[in-house]
Amino acid sequence: MKTQTITIIGLDRVGASIGLALKQSSLEVTIIGHDTDAARGKVAKETVLAIDQTEWNLVKAVRKADILVITTPLAELESILQVIGSELQPHTLVLDFSSLKRQGLNWAEQYLRQGHYVGAMPILAAPYLTDGRSDPNTATPDLFKNSAFCLMPSPNADPQAVETAVNFGLLLGALPYFMDPDEYDSLVQGSETMPGLVSLAMFSAMQKATGWRDMLRFAGLPFALMTRPLQNEQDIPLHALQNREATLRWLDAMLDELKAVRRLIYEENDEVLIALTEQLATEREKWMDARQKNDWDERRSPPIRPRTMSEHLFGGLARRGDDDDE
């Protein structure tokens, strides 16, 4: 396979960072970028230098792709897969980074006529967990370094395509971690769904308060970070309703905690409130430390034999294409 093309759909911080990581490798590939926001695509190409070409036509952007990376919000995924479903090359690896894995897999099975779909989720490296930035100007090639690369392949995906997905994650600096899509969705139900609902409720409460314009005028970083999920507002109801029972359980648990905190404040129980705050701050610090060390019980991929950098990226797909040519 002489032509090696990677297309990235979605050129926010994640998409641009993937492009930069690929650029830092010794791979000789052409990176095509597509984004519905022309200004964001221009920044990714001309300022950040994360891609080689921009293509505003989605179909043209994916037709030449050997690897197609989708980094858009979940709310945009279905329409993208509908449009590209019959346009992919038979060998194309589709890496879907959207936030709900079972939903993505279901849509892929419904719309993709060819290619190999692998649901994936690169986990942010610890240093970038709290800065809250998302535009391409903040892209960095080590956005996922020393973290996990969750993989949830379609049952129909060729094993060699899955191997390619593993190697793609390694190029990003992340270690493979295989999961069942339902297991993944269940585990992140609280950490992905609740921030969106909390930001919704918090902003709504502020907006309804007397003098809310002045409050929002002077609101700082904590408020901005807490309400950041509203930037992808269409994803919030999708997350909340994809497992309604689980969402309700998390909401009930959150309400119980808020009531407990409210009671401590009502009773002016500063001793318990301070102790609780210190305890949870310590637990959060432990979590951040574990993320920094990437100190988890990883489920790694099977051993992969050494190969050239070209083979390293394309895995068995490249070798099979060469064999077919012969």
Which tens digit of pLDDT belongs to each residue from 198-238?
999 999 998 888 888 888 888 888 888 899 999 889 999 99
In a domain, residue 37? The reply is yes
In a domain, residue 245? The reply is yes
Same domain? 117 vs 169: yes
Same domain? 23 vs 111: yes
Same domain? 60 vs 197: no
**Encoded tokens for 171:** 């190029």
* pLDDT tens by residue, 37-67: 999 999 999 999 999 999 999 999 999 999 9
Same domain? 65 vs 141: yes
Does the structure show a pLDDT above 80 at 304?
no
Strand order of the β-sheet with 148-153 is 53-54, 30-34, 5-9, 67-70, 93-96, 116-122, 148-153, 175-178
Beta bridge partners of 175: 148
Does the structure show a pLDDT above 90 at 25?
no
DSSP 192: I
Chain centre distance of CA 277: 30
Same domain? 212 vs 254: yes
In a domain, residue 285? The reply is no
35-49, 79-93, 108-122, 286-300: which has the minimum mean pLDDT? 286-300
List all residues 6 or more positions away from 112 whose beta carbon is below 8 Å from its beta carbon.
81, 84, 85, 88, 94
In a domain, residue 284? The reply is no
Same domain? 170 vs 196: no
pLDDT for the residue numbered 188: 87
Same domain? 49 vs 124: yes
Same domain? 150 vs 191: no
Does the structure show a pLDDT above 50 at 318?
no
pLDDT for the residue numbered 313: 52
In a domain, residue 243? The reply is yes
In a domain, residue 289? The reply is no
Same domain? 171 vs 209: no
Q: How far is 293 from 276, CA to CA, in rounded Å?
A: 26
pLDDT for the residue numbered 301: 44
Helices (H) and strands (E) in the chain, counts: 14, 8
Same domain? 314 vs 253: no
What domain count does the chain have? 2
In a domain, residue 283? The reply is no
Same domain? 103 vs 220: no
**How far is CA 13 from each of CA 10, 150, 279, rounded to the nearest angstrom?**
9, 19, 33
Same domain? 246 vs 316: no
Q: Which residues form the domain of 121?
A: 5-179+299-325
Which of 225, 246, 267 represents a domain boundary (last residue)? Answer: 267
In a domain, residue 280? The reply is no
Which of 252, 267, 282 represents a domain boundary (last residue)? Answer: 267
Instruction: Provide the CATH number for the domain around residue 305.
Output: 3.40.50.720
